[in-house]
Amino acid sequence: MRFYNNLTISQKQIVWAWIFLALPVLFYVVIRFYPTANAFVLSFQEWNLLGDRKYVGLENYAKLFSDPVFWKVFKNTFMYLILGTPVSLVLSFIIAYHLDKVRFMHGTIRALYFLPFMTSAVAMAWVWRWFYQPVPIGVFNNFLASFGISQIEFLSSTTNALPSVLACAVWAGLGFQVIIFMAGLRAIPQSYYEAARIDGVSTWTVLTEITIPLLKPTIVFLVVFSSIGFLRIFDQVFNMTTNNPGGPLNSTKPLVLLIYDTAFNGFNMGYAAAQTVVLFTILLVVSLIQLRLLKDS
Amino acid sequence: MASQDIAVKPSTDALFSGSSRNSRRNMGQFIRWALLFGGGILMIMPIVFMVSTSLKFPFEVYNLNLIPEEPTIENYTYVLEDGRFYRWFVNSLVISIITTASAVFFDALVGYALCKFKFPGRYLVFIAILSTLMIPTEMLVIPWYLMSKSFGWLDTYWGIMFPGVMTAFGTFLMKQFFETVPDDFLEAARIDGLNEFQIWWQVAMPLVRPALAALAIFVFLGNWTAFIWPLIVTNSVEMYTLPVGLSSFGDEVDVAWELIMTGAAISTLPTLVVFLIFQRFIIRGVVMAGLKG
């Protein structure tokens, strides 16, 4: 105590800072940095959890890049991104733009759109899975049948399954994007709109020349945020295709599901770690490219 | 953050004046409202169908009626009967509450230290923590699994919880909010003889309460719905969380959709009810966390 009392104020601050940070720093080193390093190291090894870890150099990566299933999965992962991000962004912008101009029951409508965000992805994947069943079970096909429209194969078709799974993910995330867009719209100063109105500018010009350019920070945030979400899609795919995860014929399988399969069904830890390194690289590159493109233009 | 109180937009303030131009505008405004409202109703249809089907007898499941002809709670009694859902519910609740309390406590602690203390290495620690945001959970699950295996954490509460007891996102969020707390307040408390821990807990923390609540909502929701890590780390039925349990239950009962909907309702209704009660507050919190974080 006497030692502590002899310290200067700034020295005391240093002592306190490290008292505050000791446990957290330990946590970040042990639970975040060490495992990250471990994943990289493991990606150069072969290990089935039982024997010894054996260095194999780049063999895991070579195997991965020559595996047609990986390329299928790679394509799927990007399909989720390429379809999901623009669709959810455009939809949520349209909703937010109009909702912003509506006063009557504003809070209620906003809550309706936001509600799905509060649900559990697993629970809702099962609900959507039921919706997609063929007649007489599935809601969508029953609904179509009542209008005399022929059946659509949703989850059992190799072409429709991925968009079907994606629809559920877009639906769940839409409310969050709407809320963020509305906050962005509210942050645009009213004086801009008033000036435009005095100048007699058309609504469309106001939208493209004022609203959208001023929303750029919001758009950048949402593009990066939702892209990362779609690239990491797992819960919906896993639960909508539990009888054949990632099926039919790997047509819905994203990278995270491949990782899960390789590691926890195949116990091929090194190979799975190499896949996680690829995922990490994809996420990093995609976010950097988007930040670059969207910030510059 | 006063998103509610902004004045009515110029395009809508002349709602009830009589000229034909205005009535056309009113018509447009009504169509806008009707489409938005209709879209909103469509958005909640999956939830409505889930609840309605959970109250139906099996023979009525294929009927698209939203209101069951013969409502029953039999599905709930059946699903809850063997105690599994009850157990999973408790597991999820305990895990979510403890993890949320821990993450809010530590994230605020670290955010405060990084914001208010001057010490060598401050910038380095901040960048190091922030950089972990770039690492996807999926990359860490394998090392975490190996770690849990060697420490005997598999299939335990701690095993499910440990990756989330602190979050980089929350630390960053809290640091942002502590910037708004004036140093003079802390200095005054220091002169009054409070130690640094008391200053943080008694002076600074109450001033960032809205941010703490926003963070708590995010962390709780994240843990309540978390799937991949609990799926990996648990292997006995008693240790499953609700999402993991529901996933295995869905596979088990296969085509008994009324039972699956009941399970889904049990795992998702609690958060929906909380949302409906604290709606405004939660939306504001989500915006706050989303934009600052």
Q: pTM of this prediction? A: 0.89
Q: Where in chain B is the domain with CATH 1.10.3720.10?
A: 77-292
Chain A residues within an 8 Å CB radius of B53: 130
A8 and A144 in a single domain? The answer is no
Alpha carbons B111 and B95: distance in angstroms, whole number? 23
**Judgement on whether residues A72 and A31 belong to the same structural domain of the protein:** no
Residue A283 · residue A231 · CB < 8 Å: yes
Neighboring chain A residues of B124 at a CB cutoff of 8 Å = none
Q: Looking at the partner chain, which of A25, A100, A117 has a beta carbon nearest the beta carbon of B125?
A: A25
Q: How far apart are CA A141 and CA B224, in angstroms?
A: 32
**CATH number for position A189:** 1.10.3720.10
**Number of inter-chain CB pairs under 8 A, A vs B:** 282
User: With a cut of 70, which residues of chain B have pLDDT below it?
Assistant: 1-21, 292-293
> Domain range for residue A26?
2-42
Q: For residue range A157-183, what is the model confidence (pLDDT) as tens digits?
A: 888 999 999 999 999 999 999 999 999
* B15-34 residues touching A, CB cutoff 8 A: 29, 32-33
- Distance between CA atoms of residues B161 and B143, nearest Å: 15
Give A1's pLDDT tier (boundaries 50, 70, 90).
low
Q: Are residues A247 and A130 in the same domain?
A: yes
Kindly state the tokens that stand for B195. 């130690």
- Mutation to test the A interface, candidates B9, B37, B112, B138, most A Cβ within 10 Å: B138
Mean pLDDT of A109-131: 93
> Looking at residue B13, what is its pLDDT?
44
Q: Which one of B29, B162, B221 has the shortest CB-CB distance to A118?
A: B221
Please indicate, yes or no, if residue A160 is contained in any of the structural domains: yes
pLDDT digits (tens, 9 = 90+) for A81-109: 999 999 999 999 999 999 998 888 988 99
Which superfamily does B77-292 belong to? MetI-like (1.10.3720.10)
Q: Is B129 helix (H, G, I), strand (E, B) or coil?
A: helix
Check whether residue A17 and residue A97 sit in a common domain.
no
Tens of pLDDT, residue by residue over A39-85, are: 999 999 988 888 888 888 899 999 999 999 999 999 999 999 999 99
Q: Tell me which chain A residues have a C-beta less than 8 angstroms from the C-beta of B143.
A: 34-36, 38-39, 42
Are A16 and A129 members of one domain?
Answer: no
Residue A47 lies in a domain: no
Nearest CA in chain B to A221: B291
Are A10 and A131 contained in the same domain?
no
Same domain, residue pair A126 and A240:
yes
Q: Domain for residue A236, yes or no? A: yes
Q: Are residues A82 and A37 in the same domain?
A: no
Q: Cβ A118–B62 below 8 Å, yes or no?
A: no
Non-local CB neighbours of B289 within 8 Å, separated by 6+ positions = B173, B214, B215, B217, B218
Indicate whether A165 belongs to any domain: yes
Q: Are residues A34 and A177 in the same domain?
A: no
Strand pairing partners for A46? Answer: A54
* Inside any domain, residue A222: yes
| 8 Å CB contact between A169 and A81 | no
**Judgement on whether residues A92 and A27 belong to the same structural domain of the protein:** no
Question: Is the domain of A155 the same as that of A201?
Answer: yes
Instruction: Tell me if the bond preceding A248 is cis, omega within 30° of 0.
Output: yes
Judged by CB atoms closer than 8 Å, whether chains meet at B261 and A130 is answered as yes
Identify all chain A residues contacting B242, using CB atoms and an 8 Å cutoff. Answer: 120
